[in-house]
Amino acid sequence: MRGVLTGFAVIATVIAIGYLVGRIGLLGPEGPAVLSRVSFFVATPALLFETVSRTDVSAVFSSALLVTLIGTTVVAALFAAVAMLWWRRPAPEATIGALAASYVNAGNIGIPIAVYVLGDAAFVAPVLMFQVAVMAPLAFAVLESAAARERRSVVRAAVRPLVNPITVACGLGVAVSVAGWSPPEPLMRPVELVAAMAVPAALLAYGLSLRGAPPPGSGDTAWDVRLAVVLKTLVHPAVAYLVARYGLGLSAPLVLACTVTAALPTAQNVFVYAVRYGRGVVLARDAILLSTVTAVPVLIAVALLAG
- Residue-wise pLDDT for 34-67, tens only, equals 999 998 899 988 988 988 888 877 767 789 899 9
CB 270, CB 288: distance < 8 Å: yes
CB 65, CB 130: distance < 8 Å: yes
Domain 2-305 has CATH 1.10.1740: no
- Residue-wise pLDDT for 217-265, tens only, equals 788 899 999 999 999 999 999 999 999 999 999 999 899 999 999 999 9
Instruction: Report residue 158: phi and psi, to 5°.
Output: -85, -30
pTM of the full structure: 0.86
- Residue-wise pLDDT for 288-299, tens only, equals 999 999 998 998
What is the model's pLDDT at position 225?
97
Q: How far is CA 38 from CA 33, 48, 90, 134, in A?
A: 9, 14, 27, 22
pLDDT at 210 over 80: yes
CA dihedral 121→123→128→133, nearest 10 degrees, is: 130
Give the chain's mean pLDDT.
Answer: 88
Give domain limits for the chain.
2-305
pLDDT at 96 over 60: yes
CB 31, CB 205: distance < 8 Å: yes
- Residue-wise pLDDT for 71-82, tens only, equals 999 999 999 999
DSSP per residue, 118-129: IS-GGGGHHHHH
